[in-house]
Chain A
């Protein structure tokens, strides 16, 4: 399985993401510049955190018109796993691959600390290695992670089990303590906490590694076992 780490001007968690996949997960991975127009050689797409385009206008707003975004939409529609972390989540929201939007943290402060997350759905291609209800420690680092959606969208998210991670102690004011959601078909995950920063005990937690292992497991079941 081969991953792409998409690099925008202003991405700054791309190296962490690359390290997590290459060294801790042990899978193939390549950096892909935002100008690329072909992602057909990749099986999984990773949008890292950072401040793409300096967060101009709104977080993630400018990145939605990058050349590579059309390819990411194509990959998402083809059912490939697409993971957006932090700014990557914000980009997925702005692109419309995920519902809702991000507001400034309620406290107006940039929050950078480990958070306890609850795995609300352990049956997605990103969470099959976790148990439903499992509590994991994954760090957050954001100024705009205060997730918002209207009542109707929230109802749909609940109905379809799209809320994958919630905060045990909501740090930013997110609706329903939401930390991560998937699209309806479950192959696009956006989350504010950084699983790529929790892949080794040296980093304080390796609870994030199972997320990447889940993606590989699901891919193997779908593509390797079948052939």
Chain B
């Protein structure tokens, strides 16, 4: 089995109003060193092994559904795990 960890964030060029609100709140908390906050999503997929191109499959899922390429970027990590 594969465990695929997908991280989705707003693109650098896209303003993140939620992140900005959290940053302001951190500043109020006294954390004045914080320069930027970006909020994203974390998804964990478990895939059966098989005769397929894993990267191509992940890219297809990420670009068509898991992220919206117009405003979001994604990156992923793959871990091999033993089926339970």
Contacts and interface: CB of A to CB of B under 8 A. Distances in A.
A binds B: yes
Interface of A: 57-58, 61, 64-65, 93-94, 99-101, 103-108, 146, 148-150, 173
Q: Top 8 closest A-B pairs, CB basis?
A: A101-B70, A101-B71, A101-B68, A106-B17, A104-B17, A108-B17, A148-B71, A108-B21
B17 A94 contact: no
A173 B15 CA distance: 10
B9 to A, nearest CB: 13
Interface residues of B, number: 13
A146 B65 CA distance: 20
Contacts of A58: 68
Interface in B1-27: 10, 13-15, 17-18, 21
Nearest to B41: A57
B17 A65 contact: no
Contact of A148 (B14, B41, B65, B66): B14
Contacts, number: 38
| Chain A at the B interface: SS class | loop
Contact of A103 (B17, B21, B65): B17
A94 B21 contact: no
A149 B13 CA distance: 11
Contact of B15 (A93, A103, A149): A103
Contacts of A100: 70
A61 B71 CA distance: 13
A103 B71 contact: yes
Given A148-B71, A173-B15, 8 more contacts: A58-B68, A61-B65, A94-B68, A101-B68, A103-B14, A106-B17, A148-B70, A150-B70
Given A57-B65, A57-B66, A61-B65, A105 B17 contact: yes
A108 B13 CA distance: 18
Contacts of B41: 57
Contacts of A61: 65, 68
Which of B13, B15, B18, B21 has the most chain A CB atoms inside 10 A of its CB? B15
